[in-house]
Amino acid sequence: MAGRFDYLVTGGAGFIGSHLCERLLSSGKSVCVLDDLSTGNLKNIEKLLASDSFHFIEGTVLSVETVNNCVDMCNEIIHLAAAVGVENVINKPVETIETNVSGTENILRAARGNNTKVLIASTSEVYGKSWKVPFKEDGDIVLGPTSRNRWSYACSKALDEFLALAYNHSYGLPVVICRFFNTVGPRQSGRYGMVLPRFINQALTGQPITVFGNGTQTRCFSLVSEVIDCVLALMDKPEAVGKVVNIGSTEEITILELARRVREISGSNSEIIIVPYDKAYPEGFEDMQRRVPDVSRLIGLTGIRPEADTTAIIKKVIEFGIPEGVQ
């Protein structure tokens, strides 16, 4: 039986989720959002609340009853709700594991009842400390020891993937798994450790731009609108069911160069300061030196990939203004 809404978006009041909801509504789709507002913000979706095609439920994916009710109302699910940011992962390890694992299990169980298609948002963090760059979806993952909370997020998201693929294999549930690589854009907050909005805030307010580590670590930044293009394209491809797919740019940039570019583009006079990891995070913090996706599977399935260059992305975020919550 068809639900009242085309899509359920968990975490829909968050950065990626709110952009996704805007896109879905603009394309004529109806959307139900489930978000506990722990890291999401009602301001992100306030313009959507007046639409008859949009419904917001403040609640958690940890509630079986709430999840079941939401899933019963919707035809497809995009599951974005998760613990967000390095700081939350380090400071709230129990909440990280419970939200990611139990929340995803609740979504999958509910979806199985109606055989509802589910897209699970995963992360490049799953690759851990692997040096086999670019990262391929079927490559090995290399995680640090369980004594370091840093790796609990990666492990919990890997378990989400195992669960989703198991539901697909055992029950025929149509699932698609996307591994996001550093999605950025307007409305992203630096409150939970996101590097680009933090740099931009520091540059625009004249504060020192703080680079954690030695600055030689590299990342690939993807514009949120292009990531959403890929997500929706994968949802429309039956061939993507049962697969894990990287979504990210392949333009690699060091974090120190990112800081320099933010300063230059913003016209800031802020000093760039290197902060060693042992000064920025608890003892024993580890990071990945490189994080670059192989996007051949994404291109093969959809014919598209994120292509906006880092300079253009920085300009777009600066044009939007100081990201909320990073002051």
Helices 195-204 and 255-266: crossing angle in degrees, nearest 10, is 40
DSSP letter at 262? H
Q: Is 274 helix (H, G, I), strand (E, B) or coil?
A: strand
Residues 6+ apart with CB under 8 A from 248: 124, 179, 180, 181, 182, 183, 220, 222, 227, 293, 295, 306
171 given a catalytic annotation = no
Cis peptide before 93 (omega within 30 of 0): no
User: How many other CB atoms are found less than 10 A from the CB of residue 322?
Assistant: 17
Distance CA 159, CA 188 (A): 26
- Kindly state the tokens that stand for 225: 């609108």
- Kindly state the tokens that stand for 203: 């540059």
Q: Is 15 exposed, middle or buried (0-12, 13-18, 19+ CB in 10 A)?
A: buried
Distance CA 14, CA 245 (A): 22
179's enclosing H/E stretch is strand 175-180
**Contact present, 77 and 10 (Cβ < 8 Å):** yes
Distance CA 273, CA 255 (A): 12
**Active site residue: 153, 167, 192, 281, which one?**
153
DSSP letter at 100? I
CA separation, residue 23 to residues 26, 97, 118, 159, 225 (Å): 5, 30, 18, 29, 9
- Give the rounded distance of the alpha carbon of 228 from its chain centre: 11
Which residues are known catalytic residues?
A: 153
